[in-house]
Copies of this chain bind each other. A is one copy, B any other.
Amino acid sequence: MAGTDRTRLRLEGGPAIVLVRPQLGENIGMAARAMANFGLSDLRIVEPRDGWPNDKAVQAASGAAHVVEGARLYPSVEAAVTELTFVWATTARERGQAKRIATPGEAMIESAAALKGGQEAHGLLFGAERTGLGNEEVARADAVLTFPVNPAFASLNLSQAVLIVAYEWFKAAHGGQPAFAARETPPASRGSVQGLFDQLEDSLEECNYFVPDNKKGIMWRNLRNILHRLSMGEQDVRTLRGVVSALAHGRRSRRHQPTKPPPPGAC
């Protein structure tokens, strides 16, 4: 999906993403891309199975090469988190540890608030694809982050887990506004809408739409109610007036060409 604007400031900072013994370069690259999508830049890698650097990671990062290239390599979890002030362990399984548990949304609201002051440095541990984090590594963290997930299929791909956390980070730290807003069209004034209604009413009268005569009141009210649901803008009113005019004009033209049969549906 496109939409990147390279003239915009690159968002950086946020908590560190620590991948512990990741197996597939593709997952590392996809995680890096997800981080870039949501304004994270601090990627740390502990003992990657296939060594480092990893070409597949660069390939999968697809434009987020700066995150992969800026990644730091560590020999242990301890070394990777040493200067951090708070560490979340992400896990999909209950570990029997009496440790606080938060959802991604709760956790990132907490980290965003803490990091605002500039005194704290947070990080998140993500375990290997097949095994997750070891119990010792979970014990090392301050709290557990886990995912609201279908219990019958709880196995999240590593890069997907990173993505969800990064997405919640962006919502918590940068307000979660969409990348663009709806195209603003000025709302139609009551007068404009009334002009359209008058034109339509006249055209329908000419067309003998309101039959029988004593039903006109309710027929016309129903039709106006349908049109009001459009919450028209000025441009919408102009478009619809053109439509009514074309239909009415077409009918009149046809009246002057009685050799042509009226199209089906014309009054």
A interface residue numbers (CB < 8 A to B): 1-6, 8-11, 30, 33-34, 36-39, 62-64, 90-94, 96-103, 105, 127, 129-132, 144, 146-161, 163-164, 167, 170-171, 174-183, 185, 233, 235-236
Contacts and interface: CB of A to CB of B under 8 A. Distances in A.
A150 B170 contact: yes
Interface of A: prevailing SS = loop
Given A94-B180, A180-B93, A235-B98, A155 B185 contact: no
A34 B160 contact: yes
A236 B11 CA distance: 42
A170 B105 CA distance: 13
A153 B7 CA distance: 10
A6 B153 CA distance: 7
Contacts of A105: 171, 176
A149 B170 contact: yes
24 contacts: A1-B90, A1-B156, A2-B92, A2-B130, A3-B91, A3-B155, A10-B152, A10-B153, A11-B150, A11-B152, A36-B150, A38-B150, A96-B183, A98-B233, A100-B182, A101-B178, A105-B171, A105-B176, A146-B178, A146-B180, A148-B177, A149-B179, A150-B174, A164-B167
Contact of A30 (B2, B33, B160): B160
Total copies of the chain: 2
Given A37-B156, A102-B178, A147-B179, 13 more contacts: A1-B91, A3-B154, A5-B151, A8-B151, A10-B150, A30-B157, A30-B160, A34-B160, A93-B180, A96-B183, A98-B182, A98-B235, A105-B171
B156 A170 contact: no
Contacts of A101: 178, 180-182
B4 A155 contact: yes
Contacts of A179: 92, 146-149, 151, 154
Nearest to A133: B1
Contacts of A39: 150
Nearest to A235: B98
